Structure 1
Amino acid sequence: MSGYDTVFRASRAITTDGERACEVGVLGGRIAAVEPLGAGLGGTRTVEFGDQAVLLPGLVDTHVHVNDPGRDEWEGFETATLAAAAGGVTTIIDMPLNSLPPTVDVPSLAAKRAAANGRIHVDVGFWGGAIPGNLGELAELHGAGVFGFKCFLLHSGVDEFPPLEPDGLEHAMRTVRSLGAQLIVHAEDAGTIEAAPDAHGVHYGDFLRSRPPEAEDRAIERVLDTAARTGARVHILHLSSSDSLARIARARADGVEVTVETCPHYLTFTGEQIADGATQFKCCPPIREAGNRDRLWEGLADGLIDCVVTDHSPCTPELKRLDTGDFGLAWGGISGLQLGLAAVWTQARERGHALADVVRWMSAAPAAQAGLRRKGAIEVGRDADLAVFAPEEEFLVRAERLRHRNPVSAYDGRTLRGVVRGTWLRGTEVDGVTAAGTMLIREG
């Protein structure tokens, strides 16, 4: 019962057995024991928490745009991982686009890893990209350890990461199935959006009409039909349209291997609340109406939506066009990496959900979706990635105080509940100075 490197004693902890009082013994960076509080585990160092704080497994955010190398003025590995740690996130998986070059072959993956080397404060993995012309590169990328492959079905916002046409989507699915990999999809239908009114001006309602829910629904139906035909494992990114939930349920009942994520901003904000010119709220797919938000929460409660991740997609203030407030010209993306846990907990608590539910959505489920078997739980054998969270404390968000590179946030001026008091990576507290994160490769 002794000889641990560190022992955490918590009167409240979220473990695989639910919320309990426990002692967690850490040895060599992994959880070696989880015992009832009072068991008397001994270690070189002991860390104790009162009943106002809860010990959580570190969150796993599988949807983060770091943009480094090439666009690190938008965000970079150091600022992104510091923001993650400040928000209780101990693992991120970086998206393959918005960096230069995008992660679409092994040399570009090497460039990513070189940019991250010595600069990361949490663990970082990488998605690969599936674009026209690179499907022959996927096997080598898979062998190099990416966690799967992302594609778009419409223009991604950057020319160097073009979308897949229907034939390319099917080819990509057949390829990833042969590799035992997964395809993660930004599902909006290009034709539907081309037929919709153009995005322009300062009125959020006009922007919302330019990205109708039918665009998501048709694209998701195409993804599910193609997955059923090919047997591929697919993941629907940043679900915004609740209208697709019934179609997803039918696909699962028919044996399609599909997982689904949504994001804190879709669970927090509503289109009716967004003021003219407030382009910090622009993202694609968009934040929709209050009724849609309520149905997304129902989808989470029912298990149709598996996980909640941030889709942290930052840019410089200039690209948000805050000076003109023109939704048609502004970059689409929400900066929320540091605030995801507090944002989701604030809403979840009001809707009667327990903190254990939030941990499942934001730690266990994304870890499982990405195949991170050592992450996502306080359990013997897992990495000792932990966060200490004060669920009853409130704070006022000030964008300029966040660890993100640029002071732009849709949450600016909003009061959130839940404060991260500390974050530990493999049993060592993240101090904001020592870049102790490691680069992850896909297990197996």
Structure 2
Amino acid sequence: MATAPAANDPALPISFADVEAAAAAIAGHVIRTPTLESRTLGELLGTRVFLKFENLQFTAAYKERGALNRLLALSPEERKRGVIAMSAGNHAQGLAYHAKRLGIPATIVMPRHTPTIKVQQTEGHDANVVLHGEKLEESQAHAHEIAEKRKLVFVHPYDDALVMAGQGTVALEMLADAPEIDTLLVPLGGGGLISGCATVAHHLNPEIEVFGVQAELYPSMRNTLRGEPLVADGDTLAEGIAVKYPGVLTTQVVRARVKDILLASERDLERAVSMLLQIEKTVVEGAGAAGLAAMLAEPRRFRNRTIGLVLCGGNIDTRLLANVLLRDLARSGRLARLRIRLKDRPGQLFAVARIFDQQQVNILEVWHQRVFTSLPAKGLITDIECETRGPDHLERLIEALRGAGYEVGRVELA
């Protein structure tokens, strides 16, 4: 996919010098997040893995970098008039936070269905939030209308050279801290982050291979580069990279600098979020776990390499995070729901519970169903949710139940 233009090819919208300038401009105003090696992930995946903890930024996402770089380039007159953007998440908070800090009025247009917590966090930075449209494309069109009417500067979340250069400072820091990295896996939505990172990687070491990772439900950049229809829709855990239409400028850089674009399934995204919390004790959103999700899907492809993963954000709803963790426990066999067929006579449930006790399996919930079942009138089904030590322990329980004459099945996750 990638070709090899000169390091500062004038045909591309940004250069390494632009990223260096951005780094100088934003220095001291964003957190220089750590790059740390995960020895546990490396051992599990047969490689070396370095993590860039952008979820530790003040607004918990890398978006601050590009937003601030764009704000600092405004003229005094533009600062006075103010800025506007469309965003349903991290760009909104990053832009609003730094605009407030610099005394620049900010308006953010968000889709009407944006979660209340994100609206409140953006308003908490004194931004004027306008809820408009069902989808981000409708919010963008409305933002342009307001910008034209009020003479505001529109700050695009990714398709802007100054924004792209600001995001590239992630790789500048990462490769300074871990120059041995030979492969970068970067979450990819509109393309701002990967454009900046690929520009830096190509300049510092053209041998570094850069891979973009998109949510399987939103393969917009991949399909664009392959000339395939833009089919992008659905509810994805990686909402931060759920972009239907990639940028025009970013597409140019990705075509020239990125080796390939990988797709992450919802199941692998869930598993990656869970692993990062359990192993690294760090909270990431779905988009932030995309790189690890790609490695989980294709471990052989990256074996014996030195991988850099950008944990691009940590803004995930706590209820959603809890659901992800519980689903991962279920898939690993530590949580299970068993459907057991019983006879409608006294002592049946007690007898089943005694087997759970004998196998030292903890019962969490019990659903006793007599009416809504296809069984005869004297038959019933009991669903028991339980906690085990793992798949082997669960299998011993199931064998014990069947050995006692019970018909048992597992209620599987999608």
**What TM-score range do you get, normalising by the shorter chain?**
under 0.3
What TM-score results when the alignment is normalised by the length of structure 1?
0.25
Larger Rg: 2
Q: Which has the higher helix share?
A: 2
The structure showing larger relative contact order (alpha-carbon pairs under 8 Å, at least 6 residues apart) is 1
